[in-house]
Amino acid sequence: MSAGAPGVPVADPLRGPSLAELRRRTSMKWRTYPPDVLPLWVAEMDTLLAEPVAEAVRTAIDLGDTGYATVEPYAEALAEFAGRRWDWRIPAERVALVPDVMLGIVEVLKLVTGPDDAVVVNSPVYPPFYAFTENLGRRVVEAPLGKDRRIDLGALDEAFTAARAGGHRAAFLLCSPHNPTGTVHTAAELAQVAVLAGEHGVRIVADEIHAPLVPPGTGARHVPYLTVPGAGRGFALLSASKAWNLAGLKAAVAVAGEESAGDLALLPEEVSHGASHVGAIAHVAAFRHGDPWLDALLAGLDENRRLLGRLLAERLPGVEYRVPDGTFLAWLDCRALGLGDDPAAVFLERGRVALASGIPFGTGGAGHARLNFATSPEVLTEAVDRMAAAVEASPQPGGRA
């Protein structure tokens, strides 16, 4: 029986490869910056593949099974996983294969909006929400999160009104769980969003790529948007790529609500050709056989998010950090440090730690940085030590370095 099978203990995946081994990787995370930089910016995890996933890919390669992907195995595996984890029954006929979540979002937006129509986002939010939307010829309308980093229904109401002005169609691109804050929306919040969207005639497209990454025992639980009352006109995009570190093995699915099945049926057949067949095989293995590995990962992430809190309290008490309920991302409010609008630039230049700048996340991002804590405790500790040293070496307002 391979590691990761039910009943077989799985070690913390974050305590796997050494830093020297990680630096042999050639992905964006490890090639964007010089080798003296600790990269905690892009959403790649420092893990090896779950063994059931690696075994499935090896078998495909050995068989020469490298043709075109089909949706059925992916839809079935996701339905099994969603039933186990979220008690969500996904009808296979309302699932379409797409290349990845963001390209799937683009294709769904094409179905429900047109040129110059608006897409509402909860800023600060994942930067591609802006880039992909604007490249599609749609306007971005921001509905900033509240001070508690939760959806502000008043701001959302105003944004929906602005988006629909002049008779334009509009969509709300919902990030659930939210990137970068790690907020996990409640069933009550999502139901209120559905009501508001119905009143304004706004279509909701939920990015749920981080859905499996909510550790147990936090008091939070991922609620699939399409399971809440009134969500039938919406869509959800899901993938195994974030939870099992499969960004380089591309595949994802779009799921339609009960009243959106007709829209999804209009998705051009060629869209499915963008998904990697080997990627789909890897994702199916993750959803079907990757629960033990995922549970071990969630335990490690839970330790790391709490470790980060202790480290910041000790070394960088000026940073405001709220332990995220989901994802492996920390949204750091660095405004009290006096590092300007882009603290990530200071941490990189003076500390040789790469974080994601908060500025591209939109309104509310200035003075913030996003840190990926899906790494070993040792790397995380060294990163915070370097960040603290960078602050100590930085010129302070009214003083000297």
At 9-25, the pLDDT tens digits run: 789 999 989 999 999 99
Task: Give the whole-angstrom CA distance, residue 53 versus residue 288.
Answer: 10
Sort strands 118-121 and 203-207 into parallel, antiparallel or unpaired. unpaired
- Across the range 245-250, mean pLDDT stands at 98
Mean pLDDT within 1-16: 67
CATH 3.40.640.10 residue ranges of the chain are: 53-289
Q: Which distant-in-sequence residues (6+ apart) come within 8 Å of 29 by Cβ? A: 39, 41, 42, 44
Work out the pLDDT band at 395, boundaries 50, 70, 90: confident
Percent of the chain with pLDDT over 90: 94
Architecture of the 53-289 domain:
3-Layer(aba) Sandwich (3.40)
CA distance 96 to 301: 31
Distance from C-alpha of 345 to C-alpha of 162, rounded to nearest angstrom: 34
pLDDT digits (tens, 9 = 90+) for 313-370: 999 999 999 999 999 999 999 999 999 999 999 999 999 999 999 999 999 999 999 9
* pLDDT value of residue 309: 97
Whether 123 shows a pLDDT value over 90: the answer reads yes
Binned at pLDDT 50, 70 and 90, residue 7 comes out as low
The single-letter code of the amino acid at 163 is A
Provide the angle, in degrees to the nearest 10, between the axes of the packed helices 277-289 and 71-86.
Answer: 30
Q: What Cα–Cα distance (Å) separates residue 337 from each residue in 125, 346, 373, 382?
A: 22, 11, 21, 19
CATH 3.90.1150.10 domain position(s) in the chain: 13-49+291-392
Topology of domain 13-49+291-392, CATH: Aspartate Aminotransferase, domain 1 (3.90.1150)
Q: How do residues 177-194 score in pLDDT, each as one tens digit?
A: 999 999 999 999 999 999
CA-based nearest residue to 76, from 281, 297, 267, 246 = 281
Out of 2-11, 37-46, 169-178, 183-192, least confident range: 2-11
